């Protein structure tokens, strides 16, 4: 039995391990700038690396810098985010570009505190930007670090609770040195992604095995403490199909709310149906916190339509929710 390593040793072991076994070829690791790091970190929130890569490439080609993003149309921005989910990330990213343009003349601030004031940037993302873009000291706690630390230090309790979260950030502060900052931050993420994984962790080849407290206690599979989950409700939804002259009527979804900023079939939230309606079709969709059981019914154009009619080719340049785009592609034309 042995205790945990001191920060210096811990740091060196991870940096050395990552030099050989870490990831070095991800698109956002090539010539990182504050902007490219910022974009990639936002896209990577709750989203797998493989999913992000093509989105990142398209984004950087269309919005190569803060100016391009700040001046882009919202529709253009949302079209680039279509399918990634959590669409407030995209709207916040553009807000951030406008904020940085106005407040900092398109130069990212240098301090963690200032970076954390950028719309959509929290404590983790601020630390990541400082680490990856500036190669300066920026503690990070994300899902990877959470898993690694909960196991390495044998931290009990649900990580999202304030007490455990505070412990995790305390360890992050204590174990983040001011040397090899970029490599260390990346090593934490790589360890979490390839060794200290949620399922079937590769303890046998882990460079921290001998001092990992969960490993010594044979509790690797039990940590971090899983959050008790509640059953998600199923909601019924009704969407309206209005077609005229080979064009389909869509409305832009308001913020806040689901699919904010995306174009969508108008939703009918009234509970009572006055008359039998012609049904175009149905679809089901699963969100992170509820299920949607939807039907789409036909209607005729009325007076006060707030949205617009679009031809099929025009739809290609809009941001639409994934299940709505799928439904339309099955039923339009």
Partner DNA sequence: TACCCGTGGAT
Partner DNA sequence: TATCCAAGGGT
* Between 144 and 213, CB nearer to DNA: 144
Q: Which helix (H) or strand (E) holds 80?
A: helix 74-81
- How many chain residues are in contact with DNA, going by CB under 7 A? 62
CA distance 333 to 331: 6
To DNA, the closest distance from the beta carbon of 208 in angstroms equals 17
To DNA, the closest distance from the beta carbon of 50 in angstroms equals 6
CA distance 320 to 325: 6
Closest CA to 315 of 255, 262, 237: 262
| Residue span 243-282 as binding mask against DNA, x where in contact by CB under 7 A, dash where not | -------------xxxxx----------------------
Residues 34-53 that bind DNA (CB under 7 A): 40-41, 44-51
From candidates 7, 85, 109, 266, binder to DNA by CB under 7 A = 85
* Between 177 and 292, CB nearer to DNA: 292
Mode of pairing for the β-strands spanning 263-264 and 291-298: unpaired
3-state secondary structure of 3: coil
To DNA, the closest distance from the beta carbon of 223 in angstroms equals 11
| Residue span 124-163 as binding mask against DNA, x where in contact by CB under 7 A, dash where not | xxx-x-------------xxx--x------------xxxx
Torsion angle (degrees, nearest 10) of CA 312, 313, 316, 320: -30
Span of 5-13, 64-72, 197-205, 293-301 interacting with DNA by CB under 7 A? 197-205
**Cβ atoms of 251 and 306 closer than 8 Å:** yes
From candidates 80, 321, 327, 328, binder to DNA by CB under 7 A = 321
CA angle 143, 148, 152 (to 5 degrees): 150
User: Has 102 been annotated as catalytic?
Assistant: no
Q: Is the four-CA dihedral 198, 202, 204, 210 of positive or negative sign?
A: negative
Pair of tokens at residue 170? 């305390």
Catalytic residues: 41
- Interface positions with DNA (CB under 7 A): 23, 26, 28-29, 40-41, 44-51, 83-88, 92, 119-126, 128, 142-144, 147, 160-163, 186, 189, 192-193, 197-199, 226, 229-230, 256-260, 285-290, 321-323
């Amino acid at each position: 039995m042995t205790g945990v390593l001191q920060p210096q040793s811990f740091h060196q072991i991870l940096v050395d391990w990552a030099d050989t076994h870490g990831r070095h070829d991800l698109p956002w690791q090539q010539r990182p700038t504050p902007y490219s790091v910022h974009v990639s970190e936002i896209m990577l929130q709750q989203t797998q690396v493989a999913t992000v890569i093509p989105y990142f490439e398209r984004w950087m080609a269309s919005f190569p810098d803060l100016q391009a993003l700040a001046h882009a149309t919202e529709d253009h921005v949302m079209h680039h985010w279509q399918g990634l989910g959590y669409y407030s990330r995209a709207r916040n990213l553009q807000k951030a570009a406008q904020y940085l343009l106005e407040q900092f003349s398109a130069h990212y601030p240098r301090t963690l505190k200032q970076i954390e004031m950028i719309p959509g940037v929290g404590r983790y993302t601020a630390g990541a930007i400082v680490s990856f873009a500036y190669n300066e000291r920026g503690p990070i706690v994300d899902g990877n670090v959470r898993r690694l630390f909960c196991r390495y230090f044998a931290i009990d309790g649900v990580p999202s609770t304030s007490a455990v979260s505070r412990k995790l950030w305390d360890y992050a502060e204590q174990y983040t040195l001011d040397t090899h900052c970029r490599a260390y931050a990346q090593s934490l993420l790589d360890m979490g992604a390839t060794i200290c994984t949620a399922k079937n962790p590769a303890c046998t080849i882990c460079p921290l095995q001998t001092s990992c407290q969960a490993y010594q206690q044979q509790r690797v599979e039990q940590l971090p403490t899983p959050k008790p989950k509640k059953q998600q409700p199923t909601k019924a939804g009704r969407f309206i199909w209005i077609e005229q002259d080979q064009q389909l009527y869509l409305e832009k979804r308001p913020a806040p709310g689901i699919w904010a900023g995306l174009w969508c079939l108008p939703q009918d939230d009234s509970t009572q149906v006055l008359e039998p309606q012609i049904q175009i079709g149905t679809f089901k969709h699963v969100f992170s916190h509820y299920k949607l059981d939807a039907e789409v019914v036909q209607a005729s154009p009325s007076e006060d339509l707030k949205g617009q009619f679009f031809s099929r080719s025009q739809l290609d340049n809009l941001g639409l929710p994934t299940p709505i785009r799928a439904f339309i592609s099955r039923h339009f034309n």
